[in-house]
A and B are shown apart, each in its own frame.
Chain A
Amino acid sequence: MNGLFERKYIIQGIFIAVAAIIAARLSYLQLIDKSYLLSANNNVLRKMVIYPARGVILDRNGQVLVQNEPVYDLLVTPREVKELDTALLCELVGIDKEGFERRMATARAYSPYKASQFEKQLPATAYAKLQEHLYKFRGFYIQNRTVRSYPDSIAAQFLGYIQEVNERDIERSNGFYRPGDYIGASGVESAYEELLRGQRGVKNVMVDAFNRPQGSFAEGRYDTLAVAGDGLISSLDKDLQILAEKLMRNKIGSVVAIEPATGEILTFVSSPSYDPNMMVGRERGNNYAKLLHDPYKPMFIRPMQAQYPPGSVFKVVSALTAQQAGMIDEHTIFNCPGGYRYGSGRVMRCMHVDGPTQLIRSIQHSCNTYYGYTYARMIDQRGMPSAQAYGLWRDAVMKFGIGQPLGIDLPGEKAGLLPSADFYTKRYGNAKWGSSYNISLSIGQGEMGITPLQMANVMAIVANRGFYYRPHLIKAIGDKKIVKPEFTEKISAGVDAKYYEPVIEGMSRVVNLPGGTGYSVRIADIEMCGKTGTAQNPHGQDHAVFFAFAPRENPKIAIAVVVENAGFGGTWAGPIASMLIEKYLKDTITLPQYIQDRIYKADLLPKPKTAKPQEVVKSPPAKPSQPSKSPEEEEEEVLFVHHSALARRYD
C-alpha cells in the first residue's frame, strides 16, 4: 500500500457527487417540473374534432331536399412538418408549388403549433389516394366532415347556403365556432342554424412520432360524442316546387303558394334561381362571385324581397276593408263612364266602360272607377279629417299583412311599403290633403309595395274568409316534430267572414265565367277563384301578376305568381298558377299542351338592358368567402313610382 491510498476517497467522492447531480436533475425532471408530462401528452394526443352531421331537410312528404355528403379536409401543424416530399403532396392535393407555399404561410400565420386547414373539401377520390401516402407527410392530418348536397338542385333561395365562419361570427358566438367551421349564411340554413348545426364531439387519438394513429386514449374516457343537428321538415311540396321552377325558367319573378288552413308555404320560387350545389365544394368561391355579378341577381330572394305595386289584388283588400268600415256594401253601385274623375279634371282610367257597377262586378271586371269612389269615401266621407281617416284605412290594410314583415322563417324579409298619413302631410305641407292626392293607392298603384309573399298571404286570408297563419317554410323540427308556436297562432285580418262572399264570387267569375280574364286557365271540376293583375313598372314592360285560391269551398291552396316584364297577367302568370293548382289538387295538368309549351319555352329575360357583362369584367376580383356586403343589401330594388307620374299616365 502506498501513501496515495486516501485518493480512493476522493475518487469515490467524485463518483458519488456525479451520481448525486444526476439524481438531483432527475428529481427536477420527474418530480418537480410537470411540463414534460404535458409535452409527452401533446406528443401523442391528437384532439380530433368530430363534426356532427348537419340536420337534413325534408319536404312535406318526407322527400329529401338537403342531405350530407362526406368530404375530407387536410390539416397541417406547420411545426411538425419535416422532410416533406412537397412535389408528391402537391400532386395528390392538386395544387402547385406556389399554392403550397401560400397555404403553409397562412397556416404558419395562424399558429405554428396548432393544426389548421391546409386544403378543404377534398373529394373522396383524392382522399383515398392521399390516405395511402399520408404517413410520409409528417404534420398533416385528414379531418372528416360533411358538406351539403342537394339531390334535385331546387329551392336554392329557400334552403340558402352555409359558408365558413368569419371573425365576426366567431366573436358573436362566444367561441362556439372555430376557424374553419361552417355557418348557415342565408335561407333556412341561417334561420335554423342553431338547430341544424348540432354539437361537436372530441375524440382523443394517440399518434406515433410519424403521426400515424395508434388507437384511442384512455379507452375513450375523455371523448365526447358529436350530436347530429336536428332534422327539419319543410312545408314545401318538392314535386310542386320542381314544376314551378321549371315553369319559371328564363323568367324573372316569383311563385308563392300557401296552404291557407296552416300558413305552410307549398312553393317558394325565386327566378332566376341557381343550383344550390354551386355553393358547395372547392369551386364555391368562384361560383359565389359569378352569382353575385349575375345581372339577373339570382341571390335576390324575390318572393320576400322584391316589392311591387300590387295592382288589382289590392282591390280585393279595398272591397273588404270598405265593407267592414260600413262605407259600401254588396249592393252599392257606382257608375263607371270609363274612368274616375278627381281633383281638377283629372281622370283615373278604367279598362272598360262598365256603367253602373256593383261590388261583385267591380271585382270581376277589375273596375278602377269603383275603387276610386270607394277610396274617396274611405278617406273623405268618414266625418273626420282626411289624415285621420287615412290612418284608419291604413290600419285596416295593414291587418292584411301589407306594409309590414309577415314574420316568415327566413332572414331578410322586406316589409313592403304603405306610407303613413304623416308622409303625405309632410309632402303636401299640411293636413288638408284628401283622397284625390293619392288616389292611385285605391287600385294598388303609386306609393305602395307588396311582396309576392304578401300577395299570396292576402289570397290565403280570402280563402280562409278572414284570418291567416304566418306563412312559414318549416313545419316541424327534429324527431319530436315540434312546431314553432308563432306559426300556430291564428291572426285575424279584421274583416268579418260575411263580407268575403261577394268578393269571392267576383273572383270566381273572373275564372269561371266566359269572358273573364282568367277564363282561359280555368280548371275542370275545380272552382278556382282568381284575379289577374298588372304591376306597374316604370322601368319597362309591366309585370304580370296572377293570384288565386282553390277550391272555392274548403280551399287547399292560395297562390301568387309574378312574372316581371311579361305584360298582361292573364297571358303568362295565369297559366302558371293554374297548372300549379291543378297539379297540387289533382296531380295532373289538363291545360292544352300548346299553352304549356309556350310557357316552358318562353324566354322573358330582359336581355340587352339589364345584362351588362362588361361591367363584370371591370369590377375588382371579389373576395369570395367573405363579401363585405350581403347580396341582399346590394340588390335592393326600387319599384315604386311617384303617384303623380301615374296620374299623368291616366290623363
Chain B
Amino acid sequence: MTNPHRHKLFGGEVDWFTIILWLLLCIIGWFNIHAAVFDPDNPELFNMNTNYGKQSIYIFSAMVLAVTILIVDAKFYSSVSPILYVITILLLIAVLVIGRNVGGNQAWIPIGSFRLQPSEFAKLATCLLLGRYLSTQSTKNPNLGTLLTGASIVLLPVMLVLLQPDTGSALAFFALVFVFYREGYISGPWMLFGALCIMLFVLTLAFNQWVIISVIAVVCALGIYYFRKRRKAITSLIIFFVISTAYVFCVDFVYENVLQSHQRNRIDVILGKIDDPRGQGYNLNQSMIAIGSGQFWGKGYLQGTQTKYNFVPEQSTDFIFCTIGEEWGFVGSMVVISLYLTLLLRIVNIAERQRTAFARIYAYGVASILFFHFAINIGMTIGIVPIIGIPLPFISYGGSSLWSFTILLFIMLKFDANKKGIV
C-alpha cells in the first residue's frame, strides 16, 4: 500500500491529503470570517482586534499544535487518555461553578483574555477513552455490559454539558453511536430503529399525534394484509404498532412537559408550526435569505448584503455558512460540502486501515463528531434541523473550537502515521 500523499516524517507516513483538506477548510474559514466582519468604512486587511485578525493567530497556533501533536509519541495519547478524561470531567464540573455565563450557557472558563470551553475538549477525551476501553474488550463477542460501560463513558460528559445547559454540544456526543455500530455493539436493525425513533419524534412534533398514529395504523394494516399467511410477521407488525403508538404519546408528553420553552420554540419554528419572522424564526429566516440570495455564482467576495449589513446573527461563528452561501453561491457551497464529505470518507478509510482497534475506534469517533457538526451546523442554516448553536469545524471563528477539532484530527493522523508501531 503505497500512497503518493504519504511522506516519511514525524516517525511515519503522514496522510498529507487530509492535511491539505484541513488547511483548505481553515483558509476558507478565514476568508469568510473576514467577509462576515468586513466593515466597508474601515477596510484594512489585517487588524488584530478583529475576528479575522484573531483567527489568523488561531490558525497559526493550530498549525504549531498540529506539528507538536505529530512529534509527540503516539503511545502518549493512549496512556494519557484516562487522566485527560478525568481532567475534562473536573473542568466540566468547574465550569458549572466558576464559568462565565455566555448567551445563557455556563460554557466558558476565562483564562486571561482567552476563554476555555471544556465541552470542546471533552469530545477529544471521550473519544480517546472510549477507544482505549473498547479496544481492550473482546470484539468477537460484543456483550451488553461492554456497551453499557462504553455508553457511560460518553454519557457522563453529556450530563455535565447538559447542565450548563449546552444542548448542542451535548447532542454531538450522540454521534458516537456510529462507533458502537461499527464495533458491533449495536446491530443494523437497532440503528434503523433509532433512525425511526428520531423520524417519529420529528413527525410527531410537526403533525398532530393522531395523524401520525393513523398513518402507522394504515401502514401496519396493509402489512398485515400483505403478510396475512405469515403469523410471525403479523405479530411483529402488531407489536410495532403498539410500541410506536406509545412512543408517539411519550414524545408528545416530553415535548409538552420536559423541554424548555425556548427549545420548544426553536423546534416549532423549524417545523413551520409558528411563523414569526422577528422572533425565533428571524435568525433562520435571515440565514436562508442570505444563502438563497447567493444564487448560482454568489454575490462575490465581500459583496454579500445580508452578511455585510449584519442581517445574519452570529455570522462569523455558528452562521458562517451563510456568508459562504451568499458570497460564493451554490458553487462555493458545493465546494465546501464536497471538502467535508471527502474529509469524512477519508477519515473512515483511514480508520479502516488502522491495525489497532484503539486507533480505528478513535478515528471513527473523530468522523462521527465531525459529521455531526457538519450536518447539524449547515442543516440549521438551511432550515432542515433546529437551530443548535454548534460551530462548523475548522471554518467557524473561535480558538477553542479550531484547536479542539485540530487536536482531534491530528491525533488521528499521528496514529495513522505511526500505525506500524505498537500503541
Contacts and interface: CB of A to CB of B under 8 A. Distances in A.
Contacts of B383: 25
Interface stretch (B68-76, B175-183, B245-253): B175-183
Interface stretch (A10-18, A308-316, A572-580): A10-18
Given A4-B182, A25-B382, A12 B348 contact: yes
A506 B50 CA distance: 96
Contacts of B410: none
A208 B309 contact: yes
Contact of A18 (B184, B364, B367, B371): B371
B293 interface: yes
Contacts of B379: 22
A36 B289 contact: yes
Contacts of A209: 309-311
B296 A31 contact: yes
Contacts of B184: 2, 4, 7
A44 interface: yes
B333 A26 contact: yes
B378 interface: yes
A12 B345 CA distance: 6
A21 B352 contact: no
Contact of B382 (A29, A39, A206): A29
Interface in B291-311: 291-296, 305-306, 308-311
A73 B145 CA distance: 74
B134 to A, nearest CB: 12
A637 to B, nearest CB: 58
Classify chain B's interface size: 35 or more
A381 interface: no
A33 B289 CA distance: 10
B309 A44 contact: yes
A19 interface: yes
A44 B311 CA distance: 9
Given A4-B184, A10-B188, A40-B289, A30 B296 contact: yes
A174 interface: no
A221 to B, nearest CB: 16
Contacts of B269: none
Contacts of A207: 309
Interface stretch (B30-38, B89-97, B220-228, B336-344): B336-344
Given A26-B291, A27-B330, A208-B310, A19 B341 contact: yes
A276 to B, nearest CB: 44
B296 A214 contact: no
Contacts of B344: 12, 15
Contact of A25 (B293, B352, B384): B384
B345 A15 contact: yes
B148 interface: no
B407 interface: no
A585 interface: no
B278 interface: yes
A41 B292 CA distance: 12
**Mostly helix, strand, loop or mixed at chain B's interface?**
helix
Contact of A11 (B40, B290, B348, B382): B348
A8 B330 contact: no
Interface in B46-98: none
B211 interface: no
Contacts of A18: 371, 375
**Mostly helix, strand, loop or mixed at chain A's interface?**
helix
B210 to A, nearest CB: 28
A27 B308 CA distance: 23
A79 interface: yes
Nearest to B368: A11
A37 B295 contact: yes
Contacts of A12: 344-345, 348
A30 B309 contact: no
A209 B278 CA distance: 12
Interface string A202-214: 0000111110001
Contacts of B140: 2
Contact of B139 (A2, A25, A208, A210): A2
Given A2-B184, A40-B305, A30 B311 contact: no
A35 B292 CA distance: 8
A41 B295 CA distance: 13
B118 interface: no
Contact of A39 (B289, B295, B345, B348): B289
A36 B288 contact: yes
Contact of A4 (B183, B308, B367, B375): B183
Contacts of B308: 208, 214
A5 interface: yes
A35 B291 CA distance: 12
A36 B382 contact: no
B341 A11 contact: no
Given A21-B384, A26-B291, A214 B182 contact: no
A82 interface: yes
Centre residue among A11, A30, A206 by max chain B CB count within 10 A: A30
Nearest to B277: A79
A467 to B, nearest CB: 68
Contact of B306 (A23, A43, A210): A43
Given A15-B345, A30-B330, A40-B290, A210 B310 contact: yes
Interface string B184-206: 10001000000000000000000
B93 to A, nearest CB: 33
B325 interface: yes
Contacts of A29: 288, 291-292, 325, 382
Contacts of A27: 330
B337 A37 contact: no
Contacts of B139: 2, 4
A531 to B, nearest CB: 76
B382 A26 contact: yes
Contact of A15 (B285, B310, B371): B371
B178 A214 contact: no
Contacts of B290: 40
A12 B286 CA distance: 32
A25 B382 CA distance: 7
Nearest to A206: B305
A22 B292 contact: no
Given A8-B182, A16-B345, A30-B296, 14 more contacts: A2-B139, A8-B348, A11-B181, A11-B348, A11-B367, A15-B371, A25-B384, A30-B294, A30-B330, A40-B305, A40-B326, A43-B286, A43-B306, A44-B305
Interface of B: 40, 139-140, 178, 181-184, 188, 277-278, 285-286, 288-296, 305-306, 308-311, 325-326, 329-330, 333-334, 337, 340-341, 344-345, 348-349, 351-352, 364, 367, 371, 375, 378-379, 382-384
8 contacts: A4-B182, A8-B348, A10-B181, A15-B341, A22-B379, A25-B382, A29-B382, A40-B293
Interface of A: 2, 4-5, 7-8, 10-12, 14-16, 18-19, 21-23, 25-27, 29-31, 33, 35-37, 39-41, 43-44, 79, 82, 206-210, 214
Which 3 A-B residue pairings sit nearest by Cβ, starting from the closest? A36-B292, A208-B309, A40-B293
